[in-house]
Amino acid sequence: VEAPISGSMVLAGILLKLGGYGLMRFMYFVPNYFITYNYIWIVVSLYGGVLISLVCLVQSDVKSLIAYSSVCHMSLVLMGIMTLFCWGESGSFMLMLGHGLCSSGLFCLSNIMYERLNSRSFFISKGMMSFMPSMSLFWFMFCSSN
């Protein structure tokens, strides 16, 4: 959470997706491992996604909420890859592509909000629609596409 905003944008936009893409490519080298243990990875990913979603419910910091939701989205990507079907793999690829664009935009918006309000708290930024309507529109667009 204390990383610079450019580092968070690169991490959520590119580096997390490289892990998912690398897993997709590595799957073809050792298919027996993935056929044997795919259900275990699906259960672990589902459990982690539910726990991280519960952590997201209690966040009051915008940047940490975006970071935790990125981790939760990567658990969905892992579940899609571990189904070992082409629909799961293509869905995971589409989720990685869309999330890479949206999460970078959300981190950028959180930085703009921090520069204007000097806080990343939800409680301080709750009247944003009245004094920054265009930024509220971008928040709505990025959050709904995320």
Closest CA to 146 of 110, 108, 100: 100
Number of domains in the chain: 1
Confidence band (pLDDT; 50, 70, 90) for 1? low
pTM above 0.85, yes or no: yes
Give the pLDDT confidence of 27-73 residue by residue, as tens digits: 888 888 889 999 999 999 999 999 999 999 999 888 889 989 989 99
Residue 63 φ/ψ, nearest 5 degrees: -65, -40
Residue 117 and residue 115: Cα distance in Å, rounded? 6
76 pLDDT more than 90: yes
Confidence band (pLDDT; 50, 70, 90) for 143? confident
Confidence band (pLDDT; 50, 70, 90) for 4? confident
Number of Cα atoms under 13 Å in the Cβ half of residue 143: 11
Distances (CA, A) of 102 to 50, 75, 88, 134, 139: 21, 17, 21, 17, 10
Containing structural domain, residue 36: 5-145
Q: What is the pLDDT of residue 8?
A: 81
Give the pLDDT confidence of 80-122 residue by residue, as tens digits: 999 999 999 999 999 999 988 898 899 998 888 888 888 888 8
